[in-house]
Structure 1
Amino acid sequence: MPAETHVEGSKPDRAGVLELVRNSLAEILEVEPSAISEGSSFDDLGADSLALIELVEALEEELGERTVGFHIDDEDLEDLKTVRDAVDYVTAKLGSH
């Protein structure tokens, strides 16, 4: 979508963010989304730092279409240890826009 047509769309709720994180992670890790729970740690899922970077890029791409300027800071990435951490972080970021 060209930048000039960027309009702030509807922000996903927490359940929508969870689904987005779960589906993105499932695609990156090549597992079924149902194998990923909110309490899953990235270590338990076998997600290495490269997988987390891919997750960030996927989230920024998807959410950037709905929320202009959505960005996940690299220094915040090390604090995200579980799927719940990621969902809470993204939900908080969306709320602050």
Structure 2
Amino acid sequence: MASLSQISTAFSASFKPTLARSTRESSLKSVSFSITGKRFPSLTSRRFRVSCSAKPETLNKVCDIVKKQLALPDDTAVTAGSKFTELGADSLDTVEIVMGLEEEFGISVEEESAQTIATVQDAADLIEKLVEKKA
């Protein structure tokens, strides 16, 4: 049986991410782990996402603003993964959402950044980044 020091020195991992065009997520093709000569090829994944999750308070405010701007009923579920298009937003609605977010959080979102926002989580993460940069 291998000791812990042998395992930690022989451990290696590799993966080949490819960036998806429509999102900021990476599409992970394969993951290969090797520990003291043993391979685990069954460890594969279709998606690999690294994100900085926004604070729950920020996320809740963004959900409220999205509901308000889209005039959604109170019982409509808006979550971090909700896409604006799936909630019925068109490009004008998205601009209005961004304007509401700018007003609420006292920030300014550049047009280039605004175009990368597709989900509530994207908006919340961007807001936190801009608020932190402002401070």
**TM category, shorter:** 0.7 to 0.9
Aligned residues: 80
2:105–2:127 contact (8 Å) kept in structure 1: no
Counterparts of 2:75 and 2:89, CA distance in 1: 14
Within 5 Å, which residues of 2 pair with 1:11-50? 14-31=55-72, 32=74, 35-50=77-92
2:70–2:89 contact (8 Å) kept in structure 1: yes
Percent same amino acid at aligned positions? 32
Which residue type is aligned with residue 109 of structure 2?
A: I
Which residue type is aligned with residue 23 of structure 1?
A: D
Relative to structure 1, the CA distance from residue 80 to residue 33 in structure 2 (aligned partners, 3 Å threshold; closer, same or farther) is farther
Q: Whose helix fraction is larger, Structure 1's or Structure 2's?
A: 1
Unaligned runs of 5+ in 2: 1-53
Instruction: Name the structure 1 match of 2:132.
Output: 95
Of 110, 123, 134, which aligns to 1:73? 110
In the superposition, the TM-score normalised over structure 2's length comes to 0.54
In the superposition, the TM-score normalised over structure 1's length comes to 0.74
- The structure, 1 or 2, with the larger RCO (C-alpha pairs under 8 Å, 6+ apart) is 1
Instruction: Name the structure 1 match of 2:24.
Output: none
Unaligned runs of 5+ in 1: 1-12, 65-69
Instruction: Name the structure 1 match of 2:26.
Output: none
Please provide the CA RMSD for this pair: 1.6
Counterparts of 2:105 and 2:80, CA distance in 1: 19
